[in-house]
Chains A and B, each alone.
Chain A
Amino acid sequence: MPDAAQDSPDGLLVEALRQLADVQLELEGERLRRMSVEGLFEEVLSAMSDGLILVEPRGRVWRVNKSAADLLRRTTEEMVGKRLRDVLGPGVPASTWELFQRDRRGRLEAVETVVLRADGEKVPVSLSCAVITDPDGKVVGAVYAARDLSQTHRLLHELERAEARWRLLAEVGDLLGEELDPRDALPAVCERLSEATGCHAAVILVREGRFVEDIVLGPGLDAPVSELVAHPLPAGTALALVVRGARVVHAPTLQPDFPLGIPGWPARSAALVPLMARNTSLGALLLFSEQPGAVGEPAVGVSELVAARVSLALANARLRESLVELEAAREAAQSRQDVIAGLSHDMKTPLGVISALIEGLREDGSPQERERMYTAMRRQVQRLRSLVQQFLDYSRLEGGHHLVVHTQPTDLAELIDRSVSTWGRNHPIEVDLEAGLPRALADSERLEQVLANLLSNAVKFSPPTSPVAIAARRVRKTIEIKVTDRGRGIPPADLANLFEKFHRGAEARGTQGTGLGLYISKALIEAQGGAISVTSRVGVGSTFTVTIPSVP
């Protein structure tokens, strides 16, 4: 290629320029070689980014570079001739003797220490020192190299803070996750936040965006907060502003009369962070201190992270709650539908019996047969009426109403007699009435409805020949009626909720009934100022006890 280049005028020019450049480089190398050692030394010093200080053996500053002047914020002139200790501050080996004291070779490498700037500010540095000797091995001084560590320290500090935040958040997450209801974890969360920030922490929970639901206090806090619960947030306070405005309020310094929202807390520094679930306000996280300026930016940052974590847990819990409520509502609707379907089915049997009897009456029959049929029809009409009554009672109770009763002096002997004649037709019933029983203050029709329910149950769950007993006696100002059967008894598990609606014990399987009888009976007896209860033993039988006020 050079041959080809030399053939052209351009090639000649390039070659000439290259030779010229070589000459130039040669000249500059010569200049460097010709520089005095002193000049070169100055160049090297000023080129170093570390602060360099040369000292005489006894510790007086001899030379410093620009980086050292910048690091210490002093001029070179200020430093030269001074004792090293007056320049760097105490804690630095200030003479060659001290250097040898510290290290046999007179060398220290990368020792972390603090030096003082002209204005008294402390700067963390990495300091390296070495004794300087001449070619004969005689000590002529020492060199100190200081590297500014403040940037590194700042980064390390940031890292530590990030790690602490991360640890706090992880702990808060664990605390919230441990409880079935995250609200139960809030005292512990406040405690951790309080430890992490050195401030008081509290959580204010609201319902429907403004009613105080609960106030959870961190450690060392006390305030008459229960007065606030169930009331709207106090208007015109920082708390109300944060919850409604859904924004963070940070007030590093507060006047003592600042309307924080929680009376009795002398906050002189505070931050309030809203707790949000989607667009709904759940409350606020409050951080405060009696010391002005104590709640700083880092504390607010941490609080915001904790608030986000708490909000998430609360939102999830509310979602779970609403799902449970929805499920309960769905079940209630299903139950109502079951009752209506059950009652409709129950009506089919009496309807079928009545229809069949009407057909039967067309056929010839003896007067006795006809009488039996009329009696059966009356019974089935009564049964239909009672089913309709149950349906009405059930609707009233479901609508949250009480059952209406009309009490008046009632002869219980007569009433019990009537019930027994109905239910004792096909099953033995023993009657035991105390002599001279006072009259009851009762709704005779409704009381009879209850007795019919108890007697029919007793008969239904008794062996065919085992008698059912009904007894009545005076107990102080009431009359006590007991209906006892010797059936299989009610297992304890069923006994507890026997008077609940839709409750049908295991024994009731395969028999007709809506599960409303005892539920309505209880409401009816209570409406008459009485009470109903049950005792039972499996394998022995059950006793239902009704007490009803007697006429004074």
Chain B
Amino acid sequence: MDASTDITKRKEAEARHEVVISVRDLVVEFGRKRVMDGLDLDVYRGEVLGFVGGSGQGKSVLTRTILGLIRKKAGTIRIFGQDRDKIGEAALHALERRWGVLFQNGALFSSLTVKQNIQVPMRESLELSQRFMDELAMLKIELVGLPPEAADKIPSELSGGMVKRAALARALALDPEVLFLDEPTSGLDPIGAAEFDQLIGTLKQTLGLTVFMVTHDLDSLYAICDRIAALANGKVIGEGSLEDMLASDHPWLRAYFHGARGAKMIQAHERRRLGAESG
């Protein structure tokens, strides 16, 4: 595909959807190592973007750069249409309330209970009665599939999967417009992972949630991602629907989606789809 059709395609897409996050010419360096090398990426409102890439290619670095946790060397990051370098601190703070983040290892505050963890963002930016905060916290706990007893436990008393769910509950505490998820289903059992996919699907449908999801879970990519972007060598090497990814002839994408695991998963999904159509 030549560059001009690529640009027209992108313009069409921009016309259809509102761009929530737009990253242009991003360069991030650690010392002499260049991790992001002129990366471009758009995330549209109401979509679930699955972000894939080999280990150590900088998926988490990109997420952290968008969140402002890592300094970039060059490029622009616009969130809800605002350049995060140009707006003031107060506006940035208001912006931060509109997203929720699930870190790879949960990053729950270790000295607070699960309930208190969920209430941290509420307490910090909203004025609510304690009763309503308690009720909302219990709602979120149930929503992410934790038992009610987990509410009063501290993170070190929880299993890895429960930490993930509690961290998701905290990320959802303020009903964010954008949700950043860093490997959300790693450490969950297949049942938990499927419930997770379903929950994200429901929230997307009902709240118009935009999700930026770093994941290696092929089932999640298949089940809930509207679009997939792949990262290699500091650039986005391909973006589009799962079908686009499957059709791509980039060697890494072929290895990823047509390797032993990818091929098996796709066959399984195809069979299920055909079965559903004929039955």
Q: Do A and B come from one complex?
A: no
* Chain A interface (Cβ < 8 Å from any Cβ of B): none
Q: Mark B residues whose CB is within 8 Å of A.
A: none
